[in-house]
Structures are given as C-alpha cells and as structure tokens.
Structure 1
C-alpha cells in the first residue's frame, strides 16, 4: 500500500536532523510503512494525526502507546480506552486544572531561583542537569503532596525498576518497587492525619467501575504520573532554554514584551515537541491501516506541516494561531499540560531575570537524545565568567 520506507522514529541517527528528515519524508510519502519493530505505519500530516487522535473508536491505546512497547509492571491508565480511561482520568483531573496548579507557583519559583543562584555562584553550570532535570520531579512531588526534594527519589526508584525489568533482574526491581511502595504508604498516612487534599490521596481513594483501585493500580498511576511529568517536561525545558539563547533577539523581545511569553512557550513546544510520536492500534479496517495494525503518529511532523503552519522551520513567537499537538489531542490529551506550562513559564521568567545574558561556547552544538517516545537536548553547558 505504501512505499517501503524503513523509517524508524527512535533511530539515534535521526536525532539531530529529525525535523529535516520528517519534512522530506512528509513531502514524498505522508503515510509511510516501516518493517521496524514488528511493522507499523507512520502518519506524518497534521490533519491525519489529529483525526486519528480524536477517533478512539477506531484507534485504540489499549495495546500500548509506544513502539516498541514500554516495559512496565501492570498497565498504566494511558493504555486504556474510554470508558475505563475516562474513569482513571477523572481521579486526577481536578488537581491538574490551570487554577489548581497555580498555587505551586511560589514554591516552584523559589526552587528555580535557588538552582540559578547556585549556577551563578559557581560561574558555570549545565542548564539541563542543574535546572531542567531538577524541577519536574520536584513539581510532581509537590502535586502529590510530598516534599519536593523527594522527587528525585521517585525517578531513581523507577529507573531501577525499568532497568531491572529490561535486564531480567527481578530481585533488584522488586526491592526498588517495595521501597517505592513503602514510601508512598508512609506519605499517605501522614497526609490522611493532616486532612490534606492531594493527588496522592485522590489516587489512594480512587474508584474505577464502582470498585476501589487495587494496590498495583495505585502504584501504576503514581508511576505514570512521575514518568509522564518528568522526562517530557525536562525535554521541554531544555529546548526552551536552548531557543532562548540561540534565537536572535528573542530574550530582548521577551523582556520588552512579557505578554509574548506564553506564545514563546507554545512555539518552543511546536518546534521541538518533547514527545516525538505516540502509537495507536486499529480496531477496524480504516483508510490508513487494517484492523489490528499499528500506526505511529509523529507529532513533530504534524507540528511542522506547512499546510497548517506557515514557514514551519522558523521560530515565530508572534504566531496568532499555533494549534500544535505537543500535548496530544482528544480524550488522551496530556492531563499534566497546565503543570508543564507553569514550570516552563516560571523557568523562563526567572532565567530572563537572573541569567539574561547566558551564552554557550562558540563551538557548542546541541546533541538531541531520545527514548521510545521522547526527544530533548542532552546538555546545555554555560560559562558565566
């Protein structure tokens, strides 16, 4: 049906010229088949990707949203379709509205200022490891009602569990899982005693289909919140920090026109979506694939489609219309969208205030890295003296 392009969305060799490769491929074959990873079809145009994301009756998330499929214990809520997905999402939704996350602004801002001041005191640093990697776990810990400094513990536990699952080391993975579970149980007990209203308690007291969540379901919800709220936001922050330093005149313009900040953040997400692609499985024969076949929706390609975005390769923070798909679309749209946007806004404002003139070395070239779904910059070393 389609020319046999051997496209592989997670090939490290595509990391640096990815958007150029996608532009060429979209122009030549906007729906392309690959035999990689057991075979899949890649959708590369905005309208088709948005159509598939909005059609959960024809395209399912239940067989995994990543190709190759993520190695996880149990099934995370994002791997369900409505109505079960709707029930899981309802447990979280009120805690992730724009108004609900706004209360974390001051705490996140203080954390960011401290990290920037540490870099200033040293006269050098890496804005990825010193700032972007630190904030998202702290934000997730806050919204769970836990100490922000414990956020990095979550990440380490999950990294151990994933590596153990991939390498066949159940003893190490089981130990990390138990430590994670015991930590959550202790925090929940403290929150109940304090009469708190947190995401953690919402999960612990959550019901699906008229029954309480099992212990494994609760842990899976905690796990996916940490995973989804960590790596993607790290990449979003890293890309933004790169663009702030390299787009000619951008920082000066934002300092003079702070109202453009939200548009700047959207343009960063459009130009470099932290999630490269997500997968769906056809529930019936469609015009794109046959029943049971998998399709990868390449969000970066959608966000650079010239049919929707004029001069898509150019960074234009003044775009009046920027309907990018970095957060997805439809019933599975990212539940943590407003928290991620808050983190990006706080970092941008504090960097513009405290580090308005940071620079990279003259020979610096960004190295784009990624996993099965994500993409971001590995390192942003800065010299301040």
Structure 2
C-alpha cells in the first residue's frame, strides 16, 4: 500500500458494539497497511486475525518501550520512548519479561483462579444485596462491576479496599482520553506512593496475598514491587470491569442471546468467550517493533518499524469467525485474541474469566427481569479511549 493512513482514522468508534468500519476495508484489501504514527514514524497496522497472531507470536517483534512508537497520543501529547521501568514488565522483552512474569504466573493459573471462585461469587452476592438495598434504578457500573472487580483484585494483590480512594481513580483517569493530564499525573503519583507504603506495611505485617509472597521471595526491590502493583491494577481493573459492564449492556440489547443463556445456564462459559470476542474492549494500544527485517504478508517490515495490531479487527475477521458482526453465544470462539496472544498474552485472563462468569451468573439469577432504565441510545459510552467502556449503565428490575 503506497499511501499510509493517519493513525487518527481508525480510532473513532461510532457504534455501541462495533469497531470502526475502516478496519473492515483495511482487512479486506490491506490486512497489513502502512500507517503514520503520531510522532511522524511510518509503520504499519495489522487488522486480520492471521497477521495479528503472526506479529504477536513472533519473537522478532519487540514490545520494549525503549524502541517502539506509540500508536496514539496521551491526552493529546505524543508518548515518547522511555527506559525500562523496574517491574513494569509489560513493556519488556525476554529475558527481563520472562524473569518478572515467572514470579507471578503461579498466582494467575486456571487452578488458582478456580480456587478464588467462591470468594468472587461471595463478593458478587454482596454487591447484588447492595443493589437491592439501593433499589431500582441503579448504575450497574458503580454499584456492581467496579466494586466486584476492584474488591477481588485488591484482596488478591494485598491492597486494603477500605483505602481504595488512594488508588481506585487512577486507572480510569489514565484510560480516559478526556481526562485532565494534571489530574492523571496527580492520581498516578498518589497511587504509586501509596503502593510503596503498602509494600513497607507488608514487610512488617505480611498477609495471605500476592504482594506478601513476592516480598517473602526476596528477589524484588521496593520499586519493582510497587510498579508491579501499578501494572496489575492498571491492566486488570479497568479492562475487566469494562468487559463486565459492556457485556450486560450487549446482552440487554441482544435479547435473543440473553434468553438463550437464561434458558440454558450451561451456555454461560461460551457466552463469556463470545462476549470477549464480540466486544474486545482493548482497542488500540497493542503494538510491536521489528528487531530485524521481516517479510510479513507479502510486505517487508523493516528493522525499527512499529506494527500496531487491532485486536477488535482480528476478532471480527470473517476468515476466522463466521458472521463475526453478530453476537452468537453458540459459536466456537477458539482462537479469539481478546486477551492478546504470545508471551504477552494477558496474565490475569483466568481470573478475569472467573469474575465475568460469576458476575453475569449472579445478575441473571438475582434479576430475571433486569432491563435498561434508559433508552439504548442514552447509555453514555467512552468510545475513543484505550479501553472501550460504558460510563454508566442505569438498570431496573
């Protein structure tokens, strides 16, 4: 493709559930297309399922923050390259990435997530009770999705939920492109300082939590520990609560699919995977940089070129999923990339699945007549952030 598209063109989601239509034309004609990044770098954007998985699975592509070109601006400013941040392994390559991730893998296995299932279900039940006490209508985001996910994540990591005012606002501000940059910086600094304080508390009084176990292991500094907490919170909170909230919104709109799950609760697991594929809330921050010249999809990706991969576009690829524009809880979703792919695939995906299943199951059982309290088009959306979300979801029963 001779003419490179602007990075701004693909990002304007205009529909409640569908990715921007430009992805469809790109995927059909140029699944690997030239794209101009905010800093002027001319790299690429991948939109087909096949090409996206190739990029994410190829060790010749780096995720290092030291060499990559960010595909978006942050509060209007270009995101510069920066040195590795100790503990922030999401933007590291092996062996550094391998070292950090290995320390955490045991905390997020399928077995560990299943061990947490009863606690997640208990928290969901408590939030349901809060909704009942409040009475309809109620904002499902604020009263159910956010507290469910934050309570579970805080307990797992070792953060005191009673002190959530110190850290809960930071992820939402960071992911919202309309946030004031000064507010974002202040919230981020406040959360980081609080996490450092929590590390010191745990050194003196360890508990049964991830942070205490990492401290006992003795391999990480206070800075590394604090940054790992930042990473886990910023990667695992806003994303999961957004999927949960938008999933409820989608099911209330697609009544036939909601009915199918109500009639046969055994479909819930498949429904969660289909909602992850169909919604794909992680919109456009996934990118990699070529460490050498690489031939890809008939194009030469030169050393130093950055490739942005569109997870929403890959999950709507008709070459991989039949009628991908339709929500179908009976489809085979094997291979969806809602959690990414390759060595950087979401560490907390097993916990996220448990939270989504428990949350949706609790809501469907408790409220057989759950419905929107406003018109479908009146639900306030965040369409252009790094994470697609509903700002609030007023519901009644």
RMSD: 3.0
Matches within 5 A, 1:232-381: 232-277=239-284, 278-288=286-296, 289-361=301-373, 363-365=375-377, 366-369=379-382, 373-381=386-394
Match of 2:142 in 1: 129
1:183 corresponds to which of 177, 195, 198: 198
Structure 2 equivalent of residue 45 of structure 1: 48
For residues 239 and 2 of structure 1, do their structure 2 counterparts lie closer, same or farther at Cα, with a shift above 3 Å needed? farther
> 1:155-234, aligned counterparts within 5 Å?
155-156=168-169, 166-167=181-182, 174=189, 176-191=191-206, 196=208, 198-206=209-217, 212-234=219-241
Residue 294 of structure 2 aligns to a residue in which SS? coil
* Alpha-carbon offset, residue 203 of structure 1: 2.9
Q: TM-score, with normalisation over the residues of structure 2? A: 0.84
CA pair 9-85 structure 1, distance change in 2 beyond 3 A: farther
Shift of 1:379: 2.1
Q: C-alpha distance in 2, partners of 1:172/1:133?
A: 18
Cα distance change, pair 320–170 in 1 and its aligned pair in 2 (3 A): closer
Change (3 A) 1:127 1:158: closer
Rounded Cα–Cα distance in structure 2 between residues aligned with 1:337 and 1:174 = 27
C-alpha distance in structure 2 between counterparts of 1:159 and 1:216, whole Å? 23
In structure 1, the partner of 2:27 is 26
Give the direction of change, closer, same or farther, for the CA distance of 1:150–1:187 in structure 2 (3 Å limit): farther
Contact 1:271 1:303 in 2 (8 A): yes
- Contact persistence 1:279–1:296 (CA under 8 A): yes
Q: How much does 1:257 deviate?
A: 1.6
Structure 1: distance between partners of 2:304 and 2:270: 39
Structure 1 SS opposite 2:395:
strand
Structure 1: gaps spanning 5 or more residues: none
Whole-Å Cα distance in 2 between the matches of residues 145 and 118 of structure 1? 24
Check 1:69–1:284 CA distance in 2 against 1; reply closer, same or farther (3 A cut).
Answer: farther
Change in CA separation of 1:356 and 1:147 when aligned onto 2, cut-off 3 Å: farther
Moved more, 18-27 or 91-100: 18-27
Q: Secondary structure at the match of 1:32?
A: strand
Note the C-alpha offset of 1:120.
2.6
Q: TM-score, normalised by structure 1?
A: 0.87
Aligned to 1:6: 6
Gaps of 5+ in 2: none
3-state SS in 2 of match to 1:34: strand
Q: Is residue 89 from structure 1 mapped to residue 96 from structure 2 by the alignment?
A: no
